[in-house]
Structure 1
Amino acid sequence: MGLSLWLVPSPLEAKKLGFVINSQRKDPSLSVASYPKFYPHITLASLPQSLETELDKIAGSIPTFDAHAPLRCYFDQVKIGDHYFRSVYVAIKPTREILSLYEEVHQRLGLEPRCPAFPHMSLCYIDDADAINGERDRFYDELRTSAVIGFKTEEPEAVQLNCGSEGTNNWVDNFKAHEVWAVRCEGPVESWEVLHKIPLN
């Protein structure tokens, strides 16, 4: 995988989203690669691993946002994907601000954009072998039947996630982009390493 740039929420918002992303109980019959724990994120860029030695250059490619006008990432739809890293994910609304950030970062680094289904936030990673047996569909159906996925009254086509614990309701339909992380994505997901954190405000 190499090096990735992640657009991440604050620890408080990440904790809420973690009730959905990291709450799945692992069935021992599934692959060890299915349902690893990971920090909620939108992949902003996939970089060559050689840039690990140029973290200052990467940090310089990230524009900042006014604290009074932060970058917000709004949820659009929950989808079932056909790739391990897009097993079941939230499609994020492609607002002008988030698309401009995506284009500007790639332009400053001199790279061609290559983030499939940008922007999105994965809810789980499920091994292809388990997906063939319907595990991605099962996970999505469980979100629907347990009312984790809801729809906004004022915007029926847009989803929200119930991030409450122990039967409580805590509906979330967006998060504020807090930082960009440079992450070494090599080996098992839970061994990935955050190399640098770049504030956005």
Structure 2
Amino acid sequence: MTKAEGYSIWLIPSGDVYQELAKIISQLSEKYSTPNFEPHVTLIGAGELVGTEEEMLSKTSKLTDLLRPFKIKLIKADYFDEYFRCVFIRAEKTKEITEVNNIARATFNLKLDPEYMPHFSLMYGDINPETKEKILADLGKEFDISFEVNSLHLFSTTGEVNDWHKVKEFPLS
């Protein structure tokens, strides 16, 4: 699946962490001819947030009133046989990120997702496992990258990756 539908809420790093991770995504994109995209951890993904832009803006605004800034720690590179989780870094599944996901899902009237796996995608694509293993060998599997989440980013994620765009950033207080 190379296309998505609806909206997503992303947690985007800032500063040096943003630059470092954006560089990895860009290099992989160039080397393997895969889409380049905004560095992020998905809080709620495309396919689940469907409705009008006005509804999404309103609910995301309500959600920010319920949250405070929090930390995310990226710990281990991995891959799946999935287009949108081709190569990624797992985020530590803390009580805090699980609670944030649960609050977000409740705000958008979605069922809780006990399988929620916070992760930071490095590459989208249909790539064979041997190539993914080589990528992980080159990158290293262990990571220790932390960043503070100070805002939520509502993205329109309808269509191909290059059609996606930020609708609005919502600062957390």
TM-score using structure 2 length: 0.83
Residue 50 of structure 2 aligns with which residue? 49
1:19 matched to 2:12? The reply is no
Residue 121 of structure 1 aligns with which residue? 120
Deviation at 1:118, TM superposition (A): 1.8
Residue 144 of structure 1 aligns with which residue? 137
Matched position secondary structure for 1:20 = helix
Deviation at 1:114, TM superposition (A): 5.2
Between structure 1 and structure 2, the one with the greater Rg is 1
Residue 61 of structure 1 aligns with which residue? 63
Matched position secondary structure for 2:110 = coil
Query: Using a 3 Å threshold, how does the CA distance of structure 1 residues 103 and 195 change in structure 2: closer, same or farther?
Result: same
Higher RCO by CA contacts (8 Å cutoff, separation 6 or greater): 2
Matches within 5 A, 1:71-86: 71-86=70-85
Matched position secondary structure for 2:84 = helix
What letter corresponds to residue 109 of structure 2 in structure 1? G
Normalized per residue, the structure richer in helix is 2
Matched position secondary structure for 1:186 = coil
What letter corresponds to residue 10 of structure 1 in structure 2? S
Question: CA-to-partner distance for each residue in 1:93-149, whole Å, 9 max, x for gaps?
Answer: 11011111000111122112459652111110013xxx2xx2x5314413423xx32
Q: Distance in 1 between matches of 2:160 and 2:152?
A: 21
Contact 1:9 1:176 in 2 (8 A): yes
RMSD over aligned Cα, in angstroms? 2.3
Identity of aligned residues (%): 25
Residue 89 of structure 1 aligns with which residue? 88
Q: Distance in 2 between matches of 1:114 and 1:4?
A: 15
Deviation at 1:81, TM superposition (A): 0.6
Q: Distance in 1 between matches of 2:20 and 2:83?
A: 23
Deviation at 1:78, TM superposition (A): 1.1
TM-score using structure 1 length: 0.72
Contact 2:35 2:162 in 1 (8 A): yes
Question: CA-to-partner distance for each residue in 1:55-107, whole Å, 9 max, x for gaps?
Answer: 02221113332xxxx41111232111111000011111110111110001111
Moved runs in structure 1, 4+ residues, more than 6 A? Answer: none
What is the count of residue pairs matched by the alignment? 165
1:184 matched to 2:122? The reply is no
Query: Using a 3 Å threshold, how does the CA distance of structure 1 residues 140 and 113 change in structure 2: closer, same or farther?
Result: farther
Q: Distance in 1 between matches of 2:7 and 2:29?
A: 29
Deviation at 1:20, TM superposition (A): 1.2
Matched position secondary structure for 1:176 = strand
Q: Distance in 2 between matches of 1:76 and 1:101?
A: 19
Q: Distance in 2 between matches of 1:108 and 1:114?
A: 13
Query: Using a 3 Å threshold, how does the CA distance of structure 1 residues 113 and 40 change in structure 2: closer, same or farther?
Result: farther
Q: Distance in 2 between matches of 1:119 and 1:79?
A: 12
